[in-house]
Amino acid sequence: MAATTTTIPTTDVAIIAISNGSAPGKNPVNAMGAQVRQYLRTSLQHALQDPSIKSIILIGRPDGKGVFSAGADIKEFSGGSSDSGGSVTTSEPGGIPTLNDLAHMIEGASKPIIAALTGACLGGGMELALSAQYRVADDTLKYGLPEVKIGLIPGAGGTQRLPRLCGVRHALDVILRGRINGSAKEGLKVGFLDGVVSSSSKENVVECALRWANWASSLPPITLESRRLCNRSVPSDGEGVDNETMCDFALQSLPPKEKGGESAHACLDAIRSSFQVTSFDEGMEVEKNLFNDLLYHSLQGKAYRHIFFAERSSSSTSSRKNTRGNELVKGRRTVGVIGGGKILCILVCCRTICL
């Protein structure tokens, strides 16, 4: 699909809408599939090369409604083949960009990029938002990194950028729990967001993002450099607890690796690396290796993803008429996955996992 970058009349701000990367109605959650990623790279390149453009807004839809992005297209790395993780971590020169490629491109952009967040901002969608220099939202926002629930870790910088922006405490809370319910109010409090538009405000999220974009474009280049999370170190905890101590405490609550805890332990190891290794690039390498190991070698992860697809494929029949009345009731499913001589039985009761 040809790149479509909107420039607001009388301004020098480009608006790039993720939804424009898909045919109308085909991608309601703005999943970051190959076509969308290609569109985003092309649109960003055009905006960055256009001398009339001074700043860029990345948004879910042009009107500021609906979701920002529910994250990576899990179908692209569900098969376990050598290239099945390409949507996140592995790319080839001249090929389709990965989420990591896009995150690095956004973070290193020569012009300020403001992420305008609405609705779901999950997984890879949140990781792209973390790469932007500024983030604003309205009160429909729900953010999170739920990858642990399907046997993976955030693979596009989430384990490295979130601790640098919001601290290890919030990173542990969001990543280890696989949360998907972070609100705009919480995001503003912990520093994930720079501005929030309330439902009572006369300003909508697009207008708010435009205001921030115009302001950011007037700042000196050194300010833009300081907004890149790759240039920051992980801050000390606001309550005075050592980062290592917090990770040790979190470890005590994790299930053993052999009892379903592989991805949770990998998440913790990746978060530790954000403050243990000497550079951002080293931390990203740790994250990539942990992600790929889980994707290609973890039987637990394959089981979790099998459940995810089984749930999604049966979602159209999960609601049915109750024979004792006219009300709709949800179905309950038990899934047993056999592999490596062990049986992993998980009771799934009306649960939805989003990436």
Residue 77: per-residue pLDDT = 67
Residue 307: per-residue pLDDT = 82
**With left for phi above 0 and alpha for psi between -120 and 50, is residue 53 left, alpha or beta?**
beta
pTM: 0.85
Q: 147 or 10, which is more confident?
A: 147
pLDDT at 325 over 50: no
Six token digits for residue 163: 């601790």
Say if 291 falls within a structural domain: no
Say if 147 falls within a structural domain: yes
Residue 315: per-residue pLDDT = 60
Question: Both 28 and 126 in a single domain?
Answer: yes
pLDDT at 336 over 60: no
Of the pLDDT bands very low, low, confident and very high (cuts 50, 70, 90), residue 74 is confident
Say if 248 falls within a structural domain: no
Residue 306: per-residue pLDDT = 80
| Average pLDDT score, the chain | 85
pLDDT at 353 over 70: no
Name which of 279, 287, 272 is nearest 85 in CA terms: 287
Q: pLDDT exceeding 90 applies to what percent of the chain? A: 71
For residues 32-51, give the mean pLDDT: 96
Say if 275 falls within a structural domain: no
Question: Both 323 and 224 in a single domain?
Answer: no
Which of 231, 253, 271 is a domain's end point?
231
Residue 191: per-residue pLDDT = 97
pLDDT at 217 over 80: yes
Which of 231, 265, 284 is a domain's end point?
231
Show Cβ contacts of residue 248 under 8 Å, excluding neighbours closer than 6 positions. Answer: none
Say if 226 falls within a structural domain: yes
pLDDT at 203 over 80: yes
Residue 10: per-residue pLDDT = 47
pLDDT at 185 over 60: yes
Of the pLDDT bands very low, low, confident and very high (cuts 50, 70, 90), residue 329 is very low
Say if 166 falls within a structural domain: yes
CA atoms of 316 and 114, how far apart (whole Å): 37
Which of 200, 231, 262 is a domain's end point?
231
Say if 284 falls within a structural domain: no
**CATH code, domain carrying 164:** 3.90.226.10
Number of domains in the chain: 2
Residue 81: per-residue pLDDT = 43
Residue 339: per-residue pLDDT = 32
CA atoms of 353 and 28, how far apart (whole Å): 16
Question: Both 202 and 323 in a single domain?
Answer: no
Of the pLDDT bands very low, low, confident and very high (cuts 50, 70, 90), residue 305 is confident
Domain that holds residue 213: 6-231
Residue 198: per-residue pLDDT = 84
